[in-house]
Amino acid sequence: MLRFRNWMMLGAGCAAALLVAFGGASAESVEGSVQGSKSKQASSDSSKQDYYWKVWNGALPEQRDKGDHSDVLAVLTGKFTGPPIGCKFGFRGGGLDPSTVAARSGTTVRIENRDAFTHELSVEGLAGFTPLESGPGKVRAIPVPAGGPWALGDRIYGHVDGHLHSMRELVACATVTPAGRFRFDKVPPGPYSLRILRGSEQVAIRRVTVPASKTLKVDPLTMSTSRRK
Amino acid sequence: MLSRLWYVVLALTVGGALAGAFLNKSAASREAEFQLEEQLRRDRIEAELWMRLDARLRLDALASIAVEPEVRQTLRSSSGRFGTPPGATRRRLSQKLNTLNSKLEEGKGDMVFAVDAEGEVVATLDKNAMGAERLDKMPLVRDALRGFMRDDVWVYNGEVFRMAARPVFDGGRYVGAVVHGMAVGDDLARRLGSKLPNASVVFFFRDRLIGTHVGGAAAPSSAELKSGLGQAQNQADDVSGSVEIGERTRAIASPIRGEAAHAQVGYIIGRKGSTVGLGGLFANTFKEDVASLPWLVVIGVPLLLLLLGLFLLYLEHDKAVAILRKTSESLAKNQLGSLPEGELRRHYRKIAENFNVALRAGVGFKEDMAERASVDLDHLLDTTRDSTDSGYFGFGEEAPTAKQVALDDEPAQNTASPHMTPIKAAPAGPSTAALPDQAAVTAPPKGTPTARPDTSPTARPKRSASSRPKRAPSSWPARAPSSRQPAAATVRNSEEHFTPAPDDPPTRPNAILDDYAGYDDPEENTQVKHVPQSLLEASAPAVQGEEVHFREVFEQFVATQKDCGAPVNGLTFDKFVRKLHAAREQVMKRHDAASVRFTVYVKEGRAALKASPVKQ
């Protein structure tokens, strides 16, 4: 009797696993938003003065920096063994977009150069990674071991700043618009943890269960105070 | 002593002067190096100011593009909700940018971007570049989109550009920005270097030189600057950090002001220092410095010291040398008997004392002794011929001995004896010139005042050749060959025909040894009476070892006699030796001595002999 019950539980587990593994066929979307202060764009104001002149034009008033969430990354983690969904990163506009990068531990993350000029990505403290010049359209692959996060940079452009997170159960990634919204597509139904990464920190987390054949709308997440520089 | 002390002072002064000169050279070198560092710091400040001004000029020049209506309208149409303008519009804008850029002349950009409000590049100088390029994350563009005019330095696809951006606004709002870039290269280095005379300027990107300017022969080469690139980069953050990159060459590095500094873009200014040698100590001297020198001290003190030194030298040396020179001349002229010791000091006095001792002892050059003796003898014999003075021995006053008579009467053919050579071998002289042939030599010349006439009462009677005893062959060593010897020997054999001089003291022959007072006191002077020829003959073989002594005594006697100013005419060695032999025999007999030593001394202004018995 006990042996039969064990066999039944093993079968249910396998069925659940199969459901998760092959849930792409019935993948759904997850929408949400974050609340909290926007990050200011990298500017020379906060660093040493690396210009001779920065003067107001005298005609129109200074336009305020509205800020954005280019340093915020929403990720789903859970029991999913497929390739991470939507985790594409790269240079654009002269900087990392987004600047927070997540990768599954033991895999390789690809950083594509979508600019018209070369970048030289560097990962601080990551052994075995050598900064190399990557021209426009080129992709730089970073093997991600367990651990982290690591600081990302550019040996040519000092304003480039980012962080690389190594996550053991990374399922999907989504960028956050300047308005604070994010959306995961093609996520298999199942239980996940919705995490908001900002810089080197995780600033929000929520457990969600993606239902089948239905878009999950997540209530706004409030980002905790970031201690990032 | 004072002059030596003066030399010490002089050496110390010279040493001090040299030390001072070298110290000054070191100080000058250090000062030159310090000035070079200061100059480099000023160069860096000046370079920064110049590049700041250059950035401002580029920003101002960019206004002509930013206010262009077509640029403004195109960017406005591209910004916001209107979306990216069509390709044709972008191409027109690109052509417009080229036109406007070419009007900037010196400020003409190597790349120009027209960026909309979202940071997307709408147009560039390359009208075919129609990609969706964005620059919104570049701080320069971001600040320009916010309304600021700003400059920067970018590394853009391996090249370094000085960037400038200014906002474009239209209709009361910001619609984009114009971004302008000029490549950093030799032209920039040249323009900057023209503001820094004699300095070299290079721009570097990591370990690569991207712009060089060498400021002439007095400036370091770009290779020198490149060799010190790493060293200079390490000091780039140090405000005072100039580094030595070569001999007398220093450089100062600075990261460039802009984002490219993160990519190790910067510039180096290098200069060569001036050589500071000992001669260079006066290189920077002004006329005012020379005029302000205390010339009275500069010239007067050394002159005073020079005079003092010369005075001390005169006191210690020159004066004594002058005295010695003058007195030695007088000495040579026989006007002085000795050097004035009392007038001299220290070493010169010692020299004079020693010299006087030598003079009193009659010391001469040993190597010249034999020659001098021969010369003196010749002189004596020569002068004897012309003199009526027969010498101190006064043989003319004495009764001739049998030996003497035999010698005097020896026939002329005896002149061919081993001691006599033909006169023709003798050098020309007064005596030999008057002797035309051998007969004339053997016979005294007739008619001469000093020659004894054959008929004179004092003439010795001639003896027959057979009555003359045979002379025993002499065992004495033969004389040194002398050209004067034959004449001397010839005259010697004929001199006994001479008449004694009237002024010659008749007792003088006896007075030679008349101080030989007695045998009890051997140190007393010995008086030599008549010496029998037999004694001379008998003693000759036994005393041949004393020949040298006798000759020395004879020479000393003659010399002393000359020193005393007494005449030595008629004094011959043979006569002298005969006297000595006689005296020696007497002294030996009286004192039972093995031998006798003779010494010469001065007595009553004339030479005298003293005989001292030597007992074994």
Note the pLDDT tens digit of each residue in B266-295. Answer: 999 999 987 766 666 676 677 888 888 888
Q: How many CB atoms lie within 10 A of CB B258?
A: 28
Task: Tell me the pLDDT band of B366, cut-offs 50, 70 and 90.
Answer: low
Cα B49 off chain centre by: 57
Answer for the pair B320, B344: CB distance below 8 angstroms, yes or no: yes
Q: Which distant-in-sequence residues (6+ apart) come within 8 Å of B281 by Cβ?
A: B21, B24, B25, B28
B157/A contact by beta carbon, under 8 A: yes
| pLDDT tens-place string over residues B152-205 | 999 999 999 999 999 999 989 999 999 999 999 999 999 999 999 999 999 999
pLDDT band of residue B51 (cuts 50, 70, 90) is very high
A53 closest CB neighbour out of B55, B145, B259? B55
pLDDT digits (tens, 9 = 90+) for B208-264: 999 999 998 889 998 989 888 888 777 766 666 788 888 889 999 999 999 999 999
Q: Six-digit token pair at A194?
A: 């919705």
B51 inside 8 A of chain A by CB: yes
Cβ atoms A182, A68 nearer than 8 A: no
Per-residue pLDDT reduced to its tens digit, B466-481: 444 444 444 444 444 4
Nearest CA to CA, how far is B33 from chain A (Å)? 31
Who's near B563: CB < 8 A, 6+ residues apart? Answer: B337, B359, B362, B602
Q: Which of B262, B265, B267 to mutate to test the interface with A (most CBs of A within 10 A)?
A: B262
With CB atoms and an 8 Å threshold, state whether A41 touches B148. no
Q: What is the pLDDT of residue B511?
A: 40
CB contact under 8 A, A93 and B135: yes
User: Which residues in chain B have Cβ-Cβ distances shorter than 8 Å to A61?
Assistant: 147
Query: Given a cut of 60, is residue B129 above it in pLDDT?
Result: yes
Q: Which has the higher per-residue pLDDT, B36 or B490? A: B36
Q: How far apart are CA B480 and CA B146, in angstroms?
A: 130
Chain A, nearest residue to B153 by Cα: A51
DSSP B316: I
Query: Is the peptide bond between A149 and the residue preceding it cis, with omega within 30 degrees of 0?
Result: yes
Query: Cα-flanking dihedrals φ and ψ of residue A164, to 5°?
Result: -115, 125
- Which residues of A fall within a CB distance of 8 Å from B135? 93-94
Quick one: tokens of B491? 């005259």
A140 versus B377: which is more confidently predicted?
A140
Name which of B106, B211, B259, B176 is nearest A117 in CA terms. Answer: B259
Nearest to A93 among B51, B136, B172 (CB): B136
Are B52 and A53 an interchain contact pair (Cβ–Cβ within 8 Å)? yes
Cβ A158–B261 below 8 Å, yes or no? Answer: yes
Q: Kindly state the percentage of chain B with pLDDT values over 90.
A: 29
CA–CA distance, A112 with A94 (Å, rounded to integer)? 12
Q: What is the DSSP letter of B40?
A: H
State yes or no: cis peptide before B477, omega within 30 of 0.
no
Q: In which region does residue A36 sit, left (phi positive, over 0), alpha (psi from -120 to 50) or beta (all else)?
A: left
Mean pLDDT of B301-306: 88
Q: Residue B37 pLDDT > 60, yes or no?
A: yes
Strands A201-210 and A190-198, by their bridges, are: antiparallel
Nearest to B137 among A54, A62, A93 (CB): A93
The shortest CB-CB distance from B259 to any of A62, A117, A158 is to A158
Distance CA B238, CA B255 (A): 11
- What is d(CA B421, CA B278) in angstroms, rounded to the nearest whole number? 79
pLDDT of residue B409: 41
Contacts of A80 (CB under 8 A, 6+ apart): A20, A21, A169, A171, A188, A190
Q: A-chain residues within 8 Å CB-CB of B169?
A: 57, 59-60
- Read off the pLDDT band of B94 (50, 70, 90): very high
Does A121 touch chain B if contact means CB atoms closer than 8 Å? no
Q: Do B262 and A42 touch (CB under 8 A)?
A: no
Cα Rg of chain A (Å, integer): 21
Q: How many CB pairs under 8 A join A and B?
A: 122
Lowest mean pLDDT among A65-74, B61-70, B125-134, B506-515: B506-515
Instruction: Report ipTM for this prediction.
Output: 0.85
B143 contacts A54? CB cut-off 8 A: yes
CB nearest to B150's CB, from A51, A59, A97: A51
Beta-carbon contacts of B317 under 8 Å, excluding residues fewer than 6 positions away, are B3
Give the span between the Cα atoms of A143 and B89, in whole angstroms. 44
Question: To the nearest whole percent, how much of chain B has pLDDT over 70?
Answer: 67
Task: Say how many C-beta atoms besides its own lie within 10 A of residue A143's C-beta.
Answer: 14
> Does B326 have pLDDT greater than 70?
yes
What lies within 8 Å, CB to CB, of B2 at 6+ separation is B312, B315, B316
pLDDT of residue B587: 84
**Which residues make Cβ contacts (< 8 Å) with residue A198, sequence separation at least 6?**
A39, A71, A72, A73, A100, A223, A226, A228
Burial grade of B393 (CB within 10 A; 0-12, 13-18, 19 or more): buried
Which pLDDT score is estimated for B138?
94
Single out the residue of B224, B518, B130, B560 nearest to residue B363, CA to CA: B560
Cβ atoms B78, B122 nearer than 8 A = yes
Average model confidence (pLDDT) across chain B: 74
Give B294→chain A minimum CA distance, Å: 54
- Cross-chain residue pair A57–B138, CB shorter than 8 Å: no
pLDDT, tens digit (0-9, with 9 covering 90-100), for B598-613:
888 888 888 888 888 8
Tell me, yes or no, if B257 comes closer than 8 A to chain A by beta carbon.
Answer: yes
The answer to whether B110 faces chain A, any CB pair under 8 Å, is no
Both tokens of B55, joined, read 């950035």
Q: Which long-range contacts (CB under 8 A, 24 or more apart) does B571-574 make?
A: B571/B380, B571/B384, B571/B391, B571/B392, B571/B393, B572/B377, B572/B380, B572/B381, B572/B384, B572/B391, B572/B492, B572/B495, B573/B377, B574/B492
What is d(CA B61, CA B67) in angstroms, rounded to the nearest whole number?
A: 11
Chain B 460-489, residues with CB within 8 Å of chain A CB atoms: none
Q: Do A62 and B133 touch (CB under 8 A)?
A: no
pLDDT of residue A111: 95
**Are B51 and A52 within 8 A, CB to CB?**
yes
Q: What's the pLDDT score for residue B468?
A: 47
Select the residue from B146, B173, B265 to test the A interface by mutation, using most A Cβ atoms within 10 A.
B146
Residue A111 pairs with which residues in a beta bridge?
A89, A140
Contact in structure between B119 and B139 (CB atoms under 8 Å): no
Give the chain A residue whose CA is nearest to the CA of B146. A63
- pLDDT at A106 (0 to 100): 92
* Angle subtended by helix axes B319-332 and B346-361, to nearest 10: 10
Residue numbers in chain A where pLDDT is lower than 50: 2, 16, 19-25, 44-46, 227-229
Q: Are A91 and A111 in contact (CB under 8 A)?
A: yes
Q: How many whole angstroms separate alpha carbon B20 and alpha carbon B269?
A: 34
Q: pLDDT at position B533, please?
A: 57
Alpha carbon distance A188, A183 (integer Å): 14
Q: What is the pLDDT of residue B162?
A: 96
- Residue in chain A nearest B56 by alpha carbon: A53
Tell me the shortest Cα–Cα distance from A148 to chain B, in angstroms: 25
Chain A hits for B142, Cβ within 8 Å = 41-43, 65
Selected for mutation to probe chain B from A53, A120, A152 (highest B CB count within 10 Å) is: A53
Please tell me the predicted confidence (pLDDT) of residue B80. Answer: 75
Using a CB-CB distance cutoff of 8 angstroms, which residues of chain B are in contact with residue A158? Answer: 259, 261-263
Does A27 touch chain B if contact means CB atoms closer than 8 Å? Answer: no
B230 and chain A in contact, CB less than 8 A: no
Of A56, A95, A157, the CB nearest to B262: A157
Strand locations in A105-180 (E) = 108-113, 119-124, 133-134, 139-143, 150-154, 161-167, 170-175
Going from the C-alpha of A199 to that of each of A120, A146, A166, B55, B439, the distances in angstroms are 20, 18, 13, 35, 148
Task: Reduce the DSSP state of residue B198 to 3 states and report it.
Answer: coil
Q: Which of residues 502-531 of B touch A (CB under 8 A)?
A: none
Termini Cα distance of chain B: 52
Select from A42, A44, A53 the Cβ nearest to the Cβ of B56: A53
Three-class secondary structure of residue A216 per DSSP: strand
Q: What is the CA radius of gyration of chain B?
A: 59
Residue A173 to chain B, least CA–CA distance (Å): 22
Token readout for B293 is: 């020198």
* pLDDT reported for residue A105: 93
| A95 at B interface, C-beta within 8 A | yes
- Which whole-number Å values give the CA distances from B339 to A90, B316, B324, B563, in the listed order? 116, 17, 7, 14
